[in-house]
């Protein structure tokens, strides 16, 4: 990952945080994998630790949340 990718990922994370705070995201029952990691309700991959630190109630990984918000805008 180069510096541009890191900058884009950071910007996307802050955008997700701002959008989620503004929308007051509905709480979803958290789902955990057998290893105890919170998993995304769409792709079932572990949700990024940084995302959960910023958004403890996040139900989707950053990628799926981005796709979900794109679908919601249409
Ligand atoms: Zn996902």
Instruction: Report the pLDDT value the prediction gives residue 22, as an integer from 0 to 100.
Output: 60
Instruction: Report the pLDDT value the prediction gives residue 63, as an integer from 0 to 100.
Output: 97
Instruction: Report the pLDDT value the prediction gives residue 73, as an integer from 0 to 100.
Output: 86
| Alpha carbons 58 and 41: distance in angstroms, whole number | 10
* 10-51 tens-digit pLDDT: 888 777 766 766 665 555 677 888 888 999 988 999 999 999
Distance 36 CA to ligand 1 centre (A): 16
Distance 69 CA to ligand 1 centre (A): 12
| Alpha carbons 65 and 67: distance in angstroms, whole number | 5
Instruction: Report the pLDDT value the prediction gives residue 25, as an integer from 0 to 100.
Output: 52
Q: What 8-state DSSP symbol labels residue 35?
A: T
Distance 56 CA to ligand 1 centre (A): 15
Distance 44 CA to ligand 1 centre (A): 6
Contact 14, 63 (CB under 8 A): no
Q: Inform me whether the pLDDT recorded for 2 exceeds 90.
A: no
| Alpha carbons 52 and 59: distance in angstroms, whole number | 9
């Amino acid at each position: 990952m180069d510096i541009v990718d890191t900058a884009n990922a950071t910007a996307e994370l802050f955008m997700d945080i701002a959008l989620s705070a503004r929308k007051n995201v509905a709480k979803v029952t958290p789902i955990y994998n057998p290893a105890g990691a919170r998993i995304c309700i769409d792709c079932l991959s572990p949700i990024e630790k940084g995302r959960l630190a910023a958004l403890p109630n996040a139900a989707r990984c950053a990628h799926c949340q981005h796709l979900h918000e794109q679908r919601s805008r249409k």
